[in-house]
Amino acid sequence: MRNAELFDDLGEPVPLAGPPQRVVSLVPSLTEAVEVSAPGRLVGATDYCTHPSTLDVPRVGGSKYPKLDRVLALAPDLVLANSEENRPEDVETLRANGIPVFVMAASESVPAALGSLRRILTQAYEIAEPEWLVTAEDLWREVEPVRHRAVIPVWRKPWVVLGRDTFAGDVLRRVGVENVYSGHSERYPRPSLEELRETGADLVVLPDEPYEFTQDDGPGFFPQMRPVLISGRYLTWYGPSLVDAYAALKESVR
């Protein structure tokens, strides 16, 4: 029986009687993190939860618009959500139906994301720190000197780029890449292509998610910048992928 009340990242209570055994994750990154760390407790995940590749659980739709009837039918004792990826009204509906929900805050940095994951795993799941988390913290602790300035689109039609206080922006900054829009008032600005071309950036970093930039769809819009096509999972996922992401991203932007 749990002795202390648990609160999520937004300060809301998560009324668990003990370590959850039937968990539904509405966030791909959290799905990977909890399944790798404590396999077998997930009973549902979104259609976009692609990792681990061996995960075989019922799917409940997307993160933004999950099928709440499917979630409720799975009778979870915990649902995992994220304040940026999931709608507050869905979280409230689940809570109104008596389902505990842990909402992870939209992390602005690698340390913040790993701190949230540590709380979920050690406080909600009540397991020891997994080895991957300790390794990721060691790898990402330092911030390298700036070697490049970059534009980082995450969508086009219209163009959307990383702005201030984003996890992905902090990931790149730690491997020596400064986001030219890091001082923008918005987290995801929508500048014109003409403006992007005039930023003076020497790199354009093009992930394959959420928009799937490819060699034939992306670099041609920025002829004056060196294109860096990278795995969106390495750029935006917090969890075990951060261990491999460190070396991969350093190599890509060197």
Report the pLDDT value the prediction gives residue 254, as an integer from 0 to 100. Answer: 87
Q: 131 and 160: one domain?
A: no
The answer to whether 26 and 79 have CB atoms below 8 angstroms apart is yes
Of 171, 187, 163, give the one whose Cα is nearest residue 110: 171
pLDDT over 90, % of the chain: 98
Q: Which domain holds residue 175?
A: 148-253
pLDDT exceeds 60 at position 56 = yes
Q: 76 and 198: one domain?
A: no
Q: 110 and 230: one domain?
A: no
- φ and ψ at residue 108, rounded to 5 degrees: -100, -5
The answer to whether 99 and 75 have CB atoms below 8 angstroms apart is no
Burial tier of 103 (Cβ tally within 10 Å: 0-12, 13-18, 19+): buried
Mean pLDDT, residues 92-106: 97
Q: 34 and 129: one domain?
A: yes
pLDDT exceeds 60 at position 95 = yes
**pLDDT per position as a tens digit, 103-149:** 999 999 999 999 999 999 999 999 999 999 999 999 999 999 999 99
Amino acid in the structure at residue 224: Q
Confidence band (pLDDT; 50, 70, 90) for 220?
Answer: very high
Could you tell me if residue 245 is inside a domain?
yes
Could you tell me if residue 49 is inside a domain?
yes
Confidence band (pLDDT; 50, 70, 90) for 66?
Answer: very high
Report the pLDDT value the prediction gives residue 99, as an integer from 0 to 100. Answer: 97
Confidence band (pLDDT; 50, 70, 90) for 64?
Answer: very high
pLDDT exceeds 90 at position 4 = no
Domain at 82, CATH number: 3.40.50.1980
Burial tier of 195 (Cβ tally within 10 Å: 0-12, 13-18, 19+): middle
Last residue of a domain, one of 91, 117, 138: 138
Report the pLDDT value the prediction gives residue 1, as an integer from 0 to 100. Answer: 43
What is the β-pairing status of strands 23-25 and 6-7? unpaired
Which positions ≥6 away from 116 have C-beta within 8 Å?
9, 104, 105, 107, 238
Mean pLDDT, residues 40-63: 96
Could you tell me if residue 143 is inside a domain?
no
Last residue of a domain, one of 80, 111, 138: 138
Domain count, the chain: 2
Report the pLDDT value the prediction gives residue 2, as an integer from 0 to 100. Answer: 52
Of 71, 65, 121, give the one whose Cα is nearest residue 95: 71
Mean pLDDT over the full length of the chain? 96
- Whether this prediction's pTM lies above 0.85 is answered by yes
Q: 237 and 127: one domain?
A: no
Report the pLDDT value the prediction gives residue 3, as an integer from 0 to 100. Answer: 46
CA atoms within 13 A on the CB side of 168: 25
Q: Name all contacts of 193-198 with Cβ < 8 Å and 24+ positions apart.
A: 193/159, 193/221, 196/151, 196/153, 196/159, 196/161, 196/221, 196/222, 197/221, 197/222, 197/224
**pLDDT per position as a tens digit, 160-209:** 999 999 999 999 999 999 999 999 999 999 999 999 999 999 999 999 99
pLDDT over 70, % of the chain: 98
